[in-house]
Amino acid sequence: MIRLKLITLSGMRIDKDVYEVMIPTKAGEIAVYGGHAPLIGVLSYGIIHVREEKSVKDADRHATAVFGGTIKVLDNELIILADEVEDLENLREDEITKALERAKSLKKLAKDQVSLEHAQEMIDRQTVRLQLSGLKRRHRSKRN
Partner 1 sequence: MAGVTTLKRRITSVKNTRQITKAMELVSASKMRHAQEYAINSRPFKEQARLLIGQLSSVSDAKLDDLFANRPVKNELLVVVCSDQGLAGAYNSNVLKKFIEIIKQNKADKINTDVISIGRYAGKFVAKHKGLNHHSAYPMLGDHPSPQAIAPMIEVITSHYLQKKIDRVKVVYTQFISSIRQEVVSVALIPYLIDPDDKKTETRELSPLEVAIFEPSVEEIIESVGIRLIEVQLWQALLEAGASEQSMRMMAMKNASDNAGDIIEDLTLALNTARQAAITQEIAEIVGGAEAVKS
Chain residues that interact with partner 1, rule: CB under 8 A:
5, 7-12, 25-27, 30, 37-42, 68-70, 72, 74-75, 79, 81, 83
Name which of 50 and 71 has its Cβ closer to partner 1. 71
Q: CA geometry: angle at 40 spanning 36 and 44, to 5°?
A: 110
Name which of 5 and 102 has its Cβ closer to partner 1. 5
Cβ atoms of 78 and 36 within 8 Å: the answer is yes
Name which of 48 and 135 has its Cβ closer to partner 1. 48
Taking the complex as a whole, the smallest distance from the CB of residue 110 to partner 1 amounts, in Å, to 20
Name which of 72 and 102 has its Cβ closer to partner 1. 72
Half-sphere exposure of 121 (CA within 13 A, CB side): 8
Please name the residues in contact with 74: beta carbons below 8 A apart, sequence gap of 6 or more: 38
Phi then psi for residue 44, to 5 deg, are -105, -170
Taking the complex as a whole, the smallest distance from the CB of residue 90 to partner 1 amounts, in Å, to 15
Q: Any bridge partners for residue 3, and if so which?
A: 17, 77
Taking the complex as a whole, the smallest distance from the CB of residue 39 to partner 1 amounts, in Å, to 5
Cβ atoms of 43 and 21 within 8 Å: the answer is no
Taking the complex as a whole, the smallest distance from the CB of residue 132 to partner 1 amounts, in Å, to 21
